Chain A
Amino acid sequence: MRRRAVWLITFGGGLFFLLEFLLPARTPEWLGGVGNPLTPFLPSATNFLIVVSAMAVLLGPLNLVRRYLGMIVRREQGRLEGAVFLVFLAVSIVAASCEGANIHRAFDTLYNALFYGVQTAFFASSMALLAFYLVSAAHRAFRINNLEAGLMMASAVVILLGQVPLGDWLTQGLPDAFQVRHAAQWILAVPNTGVQRAVEIGVCGGAFAAGFRQWLGIGATTR
């Protein structure tokens, strides 16, 4: 019964969005010039989706709280990390709720310290580390062992230089057509576009098949 209900909701939702997209916005005059009857319901249907997905988002923190609280109570390994998570979660909720509400300036300071001083700084640092990993990977893994690797290296160098002013500076003495940015643009606009289209067609075919199977409940494991 439950499985059938899930399938029915999935099928009904899929049918609604599919028909809304496929039906013309307005029929020709000789057919009465009628508007798409499903379109007026689209914003409300989307709001319903937003509410349901917001509930799903809440499940993540709730599960984490339950897990970490359990770890602390049972004195399991990793309880310290769990405690740090719970403290930051509680403080963040309080700071975000009270910030800008003119309760006390301390809440604004706390919010700014947590958001810009901790969270933003941590996130930006972890992303910045990628630059170092990239350079290290280029040193260790980008080896020209054969013709294909050589072609790839040549293409990568042209793209890397063509995307930055350094490339313009290095080739500024050459005629316009031979400047590295033109070569980079050609690689991106011609061979790359062909490859992207081929990949996209393959991906879309797969996504269509997967979506169709899910919509019709073929091979679904919902219990």
Chain B
Amino acid sequence: MGRWLARLHTLNPRWLYLATAILLIIPLVILIPMPRGSASRATRGLYDAVEAVPAGGIVMIDSSWDQGSRSENAAQLECVVRHLCQRRIRFVVTSLGTVFSPEFAQKTIEPIAAQAGYVYGRDWVNAGYVQSASGLAPVISALALDFHTIRQADVRGTPIGDLPLMKEVRTIRDVRLVYVVTYAPSPEWISFITGQFGTPVAFGCMSMMAPNYYTYIDSKQLCGMLIGNRGAAEYEALIRHPALGTRLSMAASFGNAAVILAAVVGNLGMWAARRAGRRGA
């Protein structure tokens, strides 16, 4: 038994890769029902902030994610857009992250908006990519002051001023809430939007980046935050529409279990190898 356990110390990583692949595929193929705890304070905060926006109000979404963080950010965008559509809240989408972001935002939002009967230009607008390589701070600040100077055309090339919704959005004061969904949202949104204008800001981030933002939840500078797929799944439960987040949080369960099991296996192997070494000496 001891010798067998000691072999775990030098286990061929290919076995681990195989086990991980199986563990990740199972929950994507078979829907495994698992209990969902109540929504965290961060998730509830975002839900309440959206609920506080009156029907017909305008929300700004900065969707700055691409392929790299699609696994978590897509569900976070989807559930919030669905909630906005349920409440007939209009929204403007920007992408300060990468050039690919507007395309992913469009693909994610379009079917939900169409299903809700939202008309592009009147109920929602994808304003496209805003180059921010010079630093986010001046771009956020300028967008807040005069949206039309920074973005002159939407993602389809239509002049911003020609879109009915954008005639109502000139500054950040015309927006009730800003929701930033990306791999690791920049705290500059808090400094330049909440700090300067008082407009509430909420984040949607990858779960591994979440520890960086708890301090802003605690200080109430962030009104809410969706953390990984768990946050999206909690939000989907609040709006009573289980979807991508719920499904992917199951896969994350198995992925996290794989990491814990690998650490346990490695440690068991190490202890057994040490014990065998002491006996041999």
Chain A residues within 8 Å of B, Cβ to Cβ: 17, 20-21, 25, 39, 42-47, 49-50, 52-54, 56-57, 100, 115, 119-120, 123-124, 127, 131-132, 134-136, 138-140, 142-144, 153, 156-157, 160-161, 163-169, 172, 179, 181, 185, 188-189, 192-193, 196-197, 200
Contacts and interface: CB of A to CB of B under 8 A. Distances in A.
B78 interface: no
B37 interface: yes
A143 B150 contact: no
Nearest to B131: A50
B210 A188 contact: yes
B107 to A, nearest CB: 9
Contact of B256 (A17, A43, A161): A161
Contact of B70 (A20, A124, A160, A197): A124
Contact of A196 (B37, B215, B257): B215
10 contacts: A123-B67, A135-B17, A140-B266, A142-B267, A153-B263, A156-B263, A164-B256, A166-B253, A179-B37, A193-B214
Interface string B11-25: 101001101110010
B177 to A, nearest CB: 21
A206 to B, nearest CB: 16
A44 B149 contact: yes
A100 B157 CA distance: 11
B16 A168 contact: no
Closest 7 CB pairs between A and B?
A46-B142, A166-B253, A123-B67, A43-B149, A53-B134, A164-B253, A165-B34
Interface stretch (B82-90, B158-166, B225-233): B225-233
Contacts of A143: 266-267, 270
B255 interface: yes
Contact of A135 (B20, B35, B100, B215): B20
Contacts of B252: 163-164
Contacts of B19: 135
A47 B54 CA distance: 33
A99 to B, nearest CB: 10
A19 B202 CA distance: 27
A107 to B, nearest CB: 16
A181 B250 CA distance: 15
A120 B265 contact: no
B67 A127 contact: yes
Contacts of B227: 163
Interface residues of B, number: 68
B172 to A, nearest CB: 12
Contact of A132 (B20, B36, B100, B230): B20
Contact of B266 (A43, A100, A139): A139
Interface of B: 11, 13, 16-17, 19-21, 24, 34-37, 40-41, 66-71, 100, 103, 130-135, 137-139, 141-142, 145-146, 149-150, 156, 196, 207, 210-212, 214-215, 217-218, 227-228, 230, 233, 249-250, 252-260, 262-263, 265-267, 270
Contacts of B36: 165, 168
Given A135-B20, A136-B17, 14 more contacts: A17-B138, A49-B139, A50-B139, A127-B71, A135-B258, A139-B11, A139-B13, A140-B266, A142-B262, A163-B228, A164-B252, A168-B37, A179-B37, A196-B214
Chain B interface mostly helix, strand, loop or mixed?
Answer: helix
Given A53-B133, A120-B67, A161-B256, A192 B141 contact: no
Which of B20, B67, B100 has most chain A Cβ within 10 Å?
B67
B133 A57 contact: yes
B35 A169 contact: yes
A167 B230 CA distance: 11
Contacts of A53: 131, 133-134
Nearest to B230: A163
Given A46-B139, A53-B134, A165-B249, A132 B17 contact: yes
A168 B40 CA distance: 13
Nearest to A166: B253
Contact of B260 (A47, A161, A185, A192): A161
Contacts of B139: 46, 49-50
Given A43-B149, A50-B134, A139-B13, A189 B214 contact: yes
A196 B13 contact: no
Contact of A188 (B13, B24, B135, B211): B211
